[in-house]
Amino acid sequence: MPVSSVPTLHELYAGRAKTLGPAQIWPEHEGDLITLAYGFAAPEMFPTDDLLAATAEVLAEDAAEGLNYGPSYPGLVQLVVDRMHAQGTPAEPGNVLIAYGSSQVLALLPEVFVEPGDTVIVEGPTFMGAVRHFAAAGAKLLTVNVDDHGLDVDALESMLRDLAKQGKRPKFIYTIPTFHNPSGTLLPLERRQRLVELAKEYGVLVVEDDAYGELYFENPPPPRLSALNHDGWVLQVGTFSKILAPGLRMGWACGNHEIIQRLHSFKLEGSSGPYLTRVVERYCADGRLARHIEELRAAYRERRDLMLAAIAREWPKDVMVPKPEGGFFVWARLPKGMSATKLLAESEKHGVTFVPGTHFYANGQGDDAFRLSFSFVPHQQIEDGIARIGAAFRTMV
Ligand SMILES: Cc1ncc(COP(=O)(O)O)c(C=O)c1O
């Protein structure tokens, strides 16, 4: 065989990578660099002693089932059901799937719903960690803008109307109505009601990603979309990552029984963690999770306030920074003509990093904005990081 025709290993996989973005990058020891980029939890807040106690209890009392193959612990399924009821969402155990993080549910969605070429509606900006799965399955992504109050429901309605005229029915709408990643926005009640009405009218599933819904800093948010529709048009995706610990990789989907069953049947490795589901349930018992969430709200509120106060001191006044009422993120909009990518390059020279807006759009927009996370780094680094970005701004004018 001539040398030039020797097959290469690379040819076996190169084509499949086209629809994916870069692999997840984890923070390394980056010297003096302050990272306001990562939406990680505050490490000081992990309830390690209580988790240790819950782990010991499970091992002492339930090791035979917890450590063997088996289903997710029914007690945790019931706990999710109870939490749904507390939000006003009717649910029974058959409406809940426990998964390895909400990311696993988001990855399963296209398995159940998407054939190559199918339409999926996403927000702009959005959490691309989810949207990349839809793209990889060959979905045609259509973007509806998010304004200061979340998804622009008028724009969604005209998109749905146009698609219907062409005889097209999107498979689902992926939305983060409560303390949005990255924009921090909160969808008001009236928009929520219209959104679920539109879903029903046009026959499109709404996937409500509620990753940050519990982390409100002032008032509780309006009812979840899943509480506003009881006919199965809303599938809620939730997670213990933001209210307990991301490293547990524990999340859920709650929705129509048949959809939950389909998701389960594509979860080919089987049920999630007999062991960890017991530990999480044991930890959450006796109101412990509720108390912990209260502490998290106070801790993250303090960080948000610190970041906003530093921004008010250190940055040009024409950078628009709405106050997020919950969640992990501040979203900054630049004055006309300024580029977030260029600001990032300048900021890195000053020893601070963040995520430019282009990372949050499926349609290439976003260089006029950027995301800062206040959840992860200690207080002093929040203040220093904002001051360093302020210095970067001053070199650009
Ligand atoms: C909006 C949103 N959804 C889902 C996730 C994934 O969370 P999990 O840890 O449950 O996979 C994240 C994580 O950052 C997120 O921001």
**Domains present along the chain, CATH in parentheses:** 3-46+290-396 (3.90.1150.10), 48-288 (3.40.640.10)
Amino acid 29: pLDDT: 57
Give the span between the Cα atoms of 207 and 131, in whole angstroms: 12
Tell me the Ramachandran region of residue 102: left when phi exceeds 0, alpha when psi lies from -120 to 50, beta otherwise.
alpha
Residue 127 makes CB contacts below 8 A (sequence gap 6+) with 176, 181, 182, 209, 211, 360
What value does the mean pLDDT of the chain take? 94
Q: What is the mean pLDDT of residues 331-346?
A: 97
**Bridge pairing between strands 234-239 and 150-151:** unpaired
Give the span between the Cα atoms of 70 and 80, in whole angstroms: 19
Residue nearest to atom 14 of ligand 1 (CA): 39
**CA 244 to ligand 1 centroid distance, Å:** 13
**CA 240 to ligand 1 centroid distance, Å:** 10
- Ligand 1 pocket mutation, candidates 180, 241, 331, criterion most atoms within 8 A of CB: 241
Residue nearest to atom 6 of ligand 1 (CA): 103
State what percent of residues in the chain have pLDDT above 70.
Answer: 95
**Looking at ligand 1, which atom is closest to the CA of residue 239?**
10
Quickly state the pLDDT bin for 12 (edges 50, 70, 90). confident
Residue 368 pLDDT greater than 70, yes or no: yes
Amino acid 30: pLDDT: 65
Is the CB of 181 inside a 6 Å radius of any atom of ligand 1?
Answer: yes
Is the CB of 70 inside a 6 Å radius of any atom of ligand 1?
Answer: no
**CA 8 to ligand 1 centroid distance, Å:** 36
Tell me the Ramachandran region of residue 287: left when phi exceeds 0, alpha when psi lies from -120 to 50, beta otherwise.
left
Is the CB of 176 inside a 6 Å radius of any atom of ligand 1?
Answer: yes
Q: What is the dihedral of CA 376, 380, 381, 387, to 10 degrees?
A: 130
Signed CA dihedral, 391, 323, 363, 133: sign only: positive
Amino acid 314: pLDDT: 97
